[in-house]
Structure formats: structure tokens, C-alpha cells
Amino acid sequence: MAVENPEVMDALEVIAREKGLSVATLLESLANALAAAYKRRPGAAEEAYVEIDPSTGTIRVICQELDAEGNVVREWEDTPRDFGRIAAQAAKQVMLQKIREAEREQKFDEYAGREGDVVTGIVSQVDNRFTLLDLGKIEAIMPHSESPPTERYSVNQRLKAYIVEVRRSLKGPQIVVSRTHPGLVKRLFEVEVPEIASGVVEIKAIARDPGHRTKIAVWSNDRAVDPVGACVGARGARVHTVVNELLGEKVDIVPFTEDLAEFAERAIVPARAMSAVVEGRRALVVVPDDQLSLAIGREGQNARLAARLTGLHLEIRAQSQLQGGES
């Protein structure tokens, strides 16, 4: 005997409207849940499905007898008398499940395809494996490997981070972020420098030692616009904002040029070069004697970053070394 349950339909329709779900999807899930509940009853038929009338909420259990080839040879109704109560319980479980699934999907859709964006979050958890950032509706995870070695975070600290991956998981979307990725520096400059956002100034190359120093090479598509000046800003305001977001990481801004020798000279800032000679992918850069340690940098950092920025193998020599006959 069919069981009428208009209250279930009313509840499904309310949930569907509030959560942006279709009633048909909820009905299908409810029918599957009820069929599973029926088959757990003693004496239940092995083959059965549930029909729910979407206009009245009437529920019917239809049993089937199949032949050896899987064809239906007989059908009959076997709706239990207490199926109204079971339907109400099942409906509640189905709605809760579908709500959770819909909310997870909405969160995933909100961030899917946003790899490469910068988000701002509040640190909610810190340990030696990862840092969690509360983005409002969802948390992002920053693995220890994506955190600069010089940075230490505290709960409730506000941070910007670069989205490297958005993936599905059983608990919902997982957003993986980074503060070591060179893209973070690029995005921060895009926010602070309107000329970069508009395309007048381009960042041609970035070399980064996260937490310590970054070098960026910039180019202007308008001769009237100084690319370095645009990035530095009045009294250094723009670059200082970026440095503050990077928690004190030094940033060198280098004017890009396709002349590799000149590019190599510029890339060793803050040191001053006298000349550079390029052969293939190798470059010999000559600096004044008092600039050698600055050009090489602590533990060779400045030289390494300059090499990565230019794509050249750099050899940096003091002027007296060459005058002394060294090759």
C-alpha cells in the first residue's frame, strides 16, 4: 500500500530553494536511500526500487522478479505500513548529506581555476608540518616546504599567499598555498603597480631566494614610463608595501634589456659593474675591487640570483684580478 508523505516533499522543496539544489536530485537520493532501507527488512525482495510522486510525496516500493537473463517477469508493490516514518528519517539524512555535498561543491567552484591568485587569510594553526590559513568560508593549507625558512607565524596573523593547487578531497576542496612561489612576488607587484596591471610595464623575469632576496627584471612598453620607477613608487612606497607583505625580504628591481652583457651588469645590483662580456650562455662581469663581495653576496646569494634572472652562467671578477693577469 502506497504511503503518502506530503511533509517530506515540503521539506525537500524548502531545502532545494535554500541550497540551490534540484528537487529531482533530492528525490532520487531519497528513493535510493529508501530502497536500501527496504532491502534490509526481513523477507524483503532482492530486486526492488522506490517510486516517489513529486506532486504528492506518495511513496511506493516496487518489487521485481527477474529471469536468468535479467529481464523483469513480474512486478508487485510491497510498501511497508511504517514506511512513512522510515521515509522521514531517510529524508532527513539525505537532505543533510546533500547539503554538505552542495556546500563542498560550491566552495570548490569558488576556488577552482584560481591557481595563480593571491588570497589573504588569518593563521588558524601552526605546526612543523603545515600552516592553516582561514580564508573565511574555507581553510587553505600551506605545507612547510612552501613557507620561507625565515618566516615564523602566529595564530591570528594576517598573511597573503599564492594558490598553487585546488583539489577535491573527502572533506571538501583543499586549497594549497605558498609563500615561496615567485608568483607571489609577481602578483603583489601587480596589485601595487597599476602600470603592471594595465600591461604598460611587464615583469620579464623573477629570481627568488624566499625569505632573503628577490630580483625582478622589468620592461616598459611605453618609453615615457620608467619601469623601475613605476615599481618603486613615490618615495619607495610601492616596493615597501611589497617588502612588508614579504615580511622584510629584500627586492632588487632591474631594468630588463635583450642585450645580455648589459643585462648581466644590471643584474648584480646592489653592486655596480664596470663591464661584462658574454660568450654563449656564459658571462664575465668585472666589478671594482670594493664591489666584489657585494656583487657575490653572502654565501654567493647575489651572484646566484643574478645568474637565474639572466639565464647566464656568471663569473664575477674584481678589476685588480684581471689586471693582475688572472683569466
Fold adopted by 6-111: N Utilization Substance Protein A; Chain:P; domain 4 (3.30.1480)
Residue 252 CA to residue 20 CA, distance in Å, equals 49
Residue in the structure block whose three cell numbers are 618566516? 151
Task: Single out the residue of 167, 317, 179, 298 nearest to residue 245, CA to CA.
Answer: 179
- In which element (H, E) is residue 71 found? none
Q: What is the pTM of this model?
A: 0.71
Length of the chain: 327
DSSP per-residue string spanning 182-232: HHHHHHHHHHH-HHHHTTSEEEEEEEEETTTEEEEEEEESSTTS-HHHHHH
DSSP 8-state secondary structure symbol assigned to residue 298: G
Residue pair 38/80 in contact by the 8 Å Cβ criterion: yes
Residue 259 CA to residue 262 CA, distance in Å, equals 5
Q: Class of 260-327 per CATH?
A: alpha beta
- In which element (H, E) is residue 97 found? helix 83-111
Span(s) in the chain for CATH 3.30.1480.10: 6-111
Say what the pLDDT of residue 327 is: 45
Strands 250-255 and 213-220: parallel
Helices 182-192 & 237-245, crossing angle to 10 degrees? 140
- The set of cell numbers assigned to 143 is 605545507
What is the amino acid identity at position 227? Answer: P
Span(s) in the chain for CATH 3.30.300.20: 181-256, 260-327
CATH number of 181-256: 3.30.300.20
Going by C-beta distance under 8 Å and a sequence separation of 6 or more, which residues neighbour residue 119? Answer: 133, 135, 140, 160, 161, 163, 175, 177
| Tens-level pLDDT at each residue, the chain (327 residues) | 455 666 777 777 887 787 777 788 888 888 888 888 888 888 888 899 999 888 888 888 999 998 888 899 999 998 887 777 776 677 677 777 777 777 777 777 777 888 999 999 999 999 989 999 998 878 899 999 999 999 999 999 999 999 999 888 767 778 899 999 999 999 999 999 999 999 999 999 999 999 999 999 999 999 999 999 999 999 999 999 999 999 999 999 999 999 999 999 999 999 999 999 999 999 999 999 999 999 999 999 999 999 999 999 999 999 988 765 554
- Residue environment code for 30-40, b if the CB has 16+ CB neighbours within 10 A, otherwise e: bbebbbebbee
CATH 2.30.110.10 fits 118-178, yes or no: no
